[in-house]
Amino acid sequence: MAETVLKKAFVSIGGTDVSAFVQSVALNYSADELDNTTMGGDFKKRLGGLKDWSVTVTFVQDYTTLDPILFNGVGSLLAFEGRPTNSAVGVANPKFTGSTLLKEYNPIEGKVGDLAVVSVSMPGSGALTRATA
Predicted confidence band of residue 1 (pLDDT cuts 50, 70, 90) = low
Mean pLDDT, residues 67-84: 97
List all residues 6 or more positions away from 78 whose beta carbon is below 8 Å from its beta carbon.
13, 14, 99, 100, 101, 102, 122
Second-level CATH architecture of 10-31+45-131: Beta Barrel (2.40)
Stretch 88-113: mean pLDDT, rounded?
A: 96
Q: Where are the domains of the chain?
A: 10-31+45-131
Q: Say how far residue 120 (Cα) sits from the centre of its chain.
A: 9
User: Can you name the residues that pair with 121 across neighbouring β-strands?
Assistant: 56
Tell me, rounded to whole angstroms, the distance of Cα 61 from its chain centroid: 17
Tens digit of pLDDT for each residue in 5-61? 889 999 999 999 999 999 999 999 999 999 999 999 899 999 999 999 999 999 999
